[in-house]
Amino acid sequence: MIQKITGNPIKALYDTQKAEMLGQAESTGSFGEMLKGSMDKLNQSQLDADSAINGFLKGDITDVHSVMIALQKADMNLRLALQVRSKVIQAYEEIVRMQI
């Protein structure tokens, strides 16, 4: 037999997600630290792609697939960073245009 749903499951889900977001916000620190961490990850993915290319050219890496995966990860990370930058600039320009 099907049991009756008690309480508000949507509110419970919202409360759970809100608690998780608050926990993440407290653990990550400031916006500047988050931004710096993201830039460090972006830089590391670019360095990993460069080292994969160099390893392939030297003959240390014979698997073309791993090189291409490293290149695609670096490309996707860079594209994401550029999109985020564009959205931030767009939001800033919109704020500047606001009338007080």
30 φ/ψ sector (left φ>0, alpha ψ -120 to 50, else beta): beta
End-to-end alpha carbon distance in the chain: 60
In which residue are the tokens 């961490």 written?
37
Query: CA-CA distance, 38 to 32, in Å (whole number)?
Result: 10
Query: CA-CA distance, 22 to 98, in Å (whole number)?
Result: 30
- Each domain of the chain, given as residue ranges in start order, spans 31-97
Q: What is the pTM of this model?
A: 0.64
pLDDT by residue, tens only, the chain of 100 residues: 666 666 666 666 667 666 666 665 555 578 888 889 899 999 999 999 999 999 999 999 888 999 999 999 999 999 999 999 999 999 999 999 998 7
Query: CA-CA distance, 14 to 16, in Å (whole number)?
Result: 5
